[in-house]
């Protein structure tokens, strides 16, 4: 059985995860964004990680720096060493953090963390090994982490390496032809993370019968959040954790 902290308690609303912390008001995937998500009442955070040019795992979404620098720096993250990434100003005095830094911050607050592993150029096994090394420092008794990815190969590699954490298969509308609800079972993960448009009642019921944890992304509409809560999903990943938490709490009173 997966750690109960990831399961939705009976009679309670779904867990709320701040998508990249929060988005729109504070630079995403930064410590300030994660702090704001918890301030708004999130149970945990969702973050993105990828390898940089010096072989360290950084918390960053895009494969390149173009969007966050307004086109002033178009370099690929996997080619830039961390000492150079750390000098980039993202706004509001925020910088690109290492994964280890964010995990230490989260451990101190005992919050849930969903680590989404982004695909890097090169072998998936190299990336999986880096993730496994980073997570090996987490005490076995503190299962506040789950690891997710759109890439089944990464999840299979992590499982083969003996990763003890909850693994989640992420999927989106464009993967519909894969029959992604079934792919998750084949890969052998304990959690399924569908895009909100993929949450068919029959699919959720089947996943629940298979004892899968279901976390849905990215849910920013209050009515949609309440509908998903009524379907029994375990978690909602949202850009606006405070507003969505209020919406689902009202629906369970």
Q: pLDDT, tens digit, for every residue of 139-188?
A: 765 578 999 999 999 999 999 999 888 999 999 999 888 889 988 888 88
54-63, 74-83, 121-130, 215-224: the lowest-pLDDT one: 121-130
pLDDT at 1 over 50: no
Axis crossing angle, helix 241-251 with helix 222-231, rounded to the nearest 10 = 50
Sequence-separated contacts (24+) of 63-69 with Cβ below 8 Å: 63/118, 68/27
Whether this model's pTM surpasses 0.85 = yes
Which helix (H) or strand (E) segment is 104 a member of? helix 99-109
Q: Using CA atoms, how far apart are residues 63 and 60, in angstroms rounded to an integer?
A: 8
Domains recognised in the chain with CATH numbers: 13-63+97-251 (3.20.20.190)
- pLDDT the model gives residue 170: 97
Q: What is the mean pLDDT of the chain?
A: 93
- Whether the CB-CB separation of 65 and 75 falls below 8 Å is answered with yes
What is the reported pLDDT for 123? 77
pLDDT of residue 176: 84
- The size of the chain, in residues, is 253
- Say which range, 8-17, 20-29, 52-61, 142-151, has the weakest mean pLDDT: 142-151
pLDDT at residue 194 is higher than 70: yes
pLDDT band at 3 (very low <50, low <70, confident <90, very high): low
Rg (CA), the chain: 17
């Amino acid at each position: 059985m997966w750690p109960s902290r990831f399961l939705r308690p009976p009679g309670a609303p779904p867990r709320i995860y701040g998508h990249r912390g929060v988005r729109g008001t504070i630079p995403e995937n930064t410590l300030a964004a994660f702090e704001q998500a918890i301030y708004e009442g999130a149970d945990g955070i969702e973050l993105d990680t990828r390898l940089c040019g010096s072989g360290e795992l950084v918390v960053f979404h895009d494969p390149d720096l173009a969007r966050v620098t307004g086109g002033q720096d178009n370099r690929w993250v996997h080619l830039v060493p961390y000492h150079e990434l750390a000098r980039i100003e993202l706004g509001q005095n925020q910088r690109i953090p290492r994964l280890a830094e964010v995990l230490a911050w989260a451990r101190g607050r005992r919050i849930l963390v969903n680590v989404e592993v982004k695909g890097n150029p090169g072998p998936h096994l190299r990336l999986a090994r880096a993730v496994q090394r980073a997570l090996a420092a987490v005490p076995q008794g503190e299962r506040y982490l789950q690891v997710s990815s759109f890439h089944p190969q990464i999840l299979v590699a992590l499982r083969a390496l003996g990763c003890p954490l909850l693994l989640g298969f992420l999927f989106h509308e464009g993967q519909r032809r894969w029959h992604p609800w079934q792919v998750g079972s084949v890969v052998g993960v304990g959690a399924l993370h569908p895009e909100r448009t993929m949450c068919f009642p029959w699919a959720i019921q089947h996943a629940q019968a298979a004892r899968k944890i279901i976390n849905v992304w990215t849910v920013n509409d209050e009515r949609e959040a309440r509908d998903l809560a009524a379907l029994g999903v375990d978690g909602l990943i949202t850009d606006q954790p405070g507003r969505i938490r209020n919406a689902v709490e009202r629906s369970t009173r």
